[in-house]
């Protein structure tokens, strides 16, 4: 469908990591349960049809991250 980027010359992707379930990311500005899995987000990105020309990842909050920096690692994986 056109909604996945098909037919678009350039796609700017903005990922709000608040969309992730708390099991994947705890270092978020706003904590919500029942979010997406990391695999679901990666599948969305990998299936985009348009050329990605730029992007950003927002709402990572290092002050709330776990001691092993799980959210930082998940965010880096998305990037």
Q: What is the pLDDT of residues 12-70, one digit of tens each?
A: 899 999 999 988 888 988 877 899 999 999 999 999 887 889 999 999 999 999 999 99
What is d(CA 65, CA 37) in angstroms, rounded to the nearest whole number?
17
Statement: residue 72 has pLDDT above 90: yes
Q: What angle do CA 44, 46, 22 make, to 5 degrees?
A: 45
């Amino acid at each position: 469908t056109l909604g996945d980027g098909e037919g678009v010359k350039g796609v700017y992707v903005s990922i709000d990591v608040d969309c992730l379930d708390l099991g994947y990311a705890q270092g978020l500005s706003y904590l919500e349960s029942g979010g997406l899995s990391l695999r679901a987000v990666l599948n969305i990105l990998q299936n985009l049809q348009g050329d990605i020309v730029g992007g950003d990842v927002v709402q990572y909050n290092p002050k709330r991250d776990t001691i092993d920096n799980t959210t930082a690692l998940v965010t880096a994986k998305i990037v």
